[in-house]
Amino acid sequence: MARHSLICGAAFAFMSMAAGAQAQTIVDEWAGIKLPPPPALKAAKVDPKTTALLLFDFTHQTCSQERRPRCAASVPKLKKLLDDARANNMFVVWSVATADSKPADILPEIAPRAGEPVLPSLGPDKFIKSDFEKMLRDKGVTAIIITGTAAHTTVLHTGGQAALRGFKVIAPVDAMSSNDQFTEAYTAWHLANAARIVNATTLTRVDMITY
């Protein structure tokens, strides 16, 4: 009888522990998660003949001191990227952010000139339901410099998809903005760690890009 009680007790304890373990999810453990160390930034030397600069979703609707101050603060870096790209005759592609935005809504500091391509609002992955990849291939582009707001949508999904499609991806962390630090951080971490994406991606800063 005592032995039977001991076995039953052990079984109950085991089941209780198993139930407790099953109850633990990543959400339950959230407060105890330790952030990984930041990914290393690396210098990026680009060939302007085979590289495209992507300036995605920087419109009045999405990038302003009121709407997204982190984006507004990044505009001087974006302008430097654009000025350097134009000085080196690099292919540049823009996009608008929302269905009701238009090319004229792109911030004047980094606005496209007549004839320069502007993608419509296509969602976070600019390759879906578009001729974006063909546009790049037709120009002989094999590498992209990805910038955008918000980082966790356009930069994460278009940048990741570009890597999976065989493009080299250069991602300056000071040119991908979001509503807060965390979303920028997890975008940078994903690009620097995800399988197949990491091998094609260089995480960098604007001042570490040379021609």
Q: What is the pLDDT of residue 191?
A: 97
Q: What is the pLDDT of residue 4?
A: 47
* pLDDT tens, position by position, 61-75: 999 999 999 999 999
* pLDDT tens, position by position, 154-192: 999 999 999 999 999 999 999 999 999 999 999 999 999
- Tokens representing 66 are 């009121």
Q: Would the pLDDT of 19 be above 70?
A: no
**What is the C-alpha to C-alpha distance for residues 160 and 90, in angstroms, rounded to an integer?**
22
Identity of residue 65: Q
- Tokens representing 38 are 């930041």
- Tokens representing 27 are 């959400």
**Using CA atoms in the order 70, 73, 77, 79, what is the torsion angle rounded to 10 degrees?**
110
Q: What is the pLDDT of residue 1?
A: 47
* pLDDT tens, position by position, 113-147: 999 999 999 899 999 999 999 999 999 999 999 99
All residues at 6 or more sequence positions from 63 whose CB lies less than 8 Å from its CB, including other chains:
57, 71, 72, 75, 107, 149, 177
Length of the chain as a residue count:
211
Q: What is the pLDDT of residue 8?
A: 46
* Proportion of the chain above pLDDT 90, given as a percent: 84
Bridge partner list, 3: none
- Tokens representing 111 are 């606005």
Tokens 């509503």 belong to: 179
CA-atom Rg of the chain in angstroms: 23
Q: What's the Cα-to-Cα distance from 78 to each of 72, 151, 157, 177, rounded to whole Å?
A: 10, 14, 20, 11
* pLDDT tens, position by position, 48-60: 999 999 999 999 9
Cis before residue 195, ω within 30 degrees of 0?
no
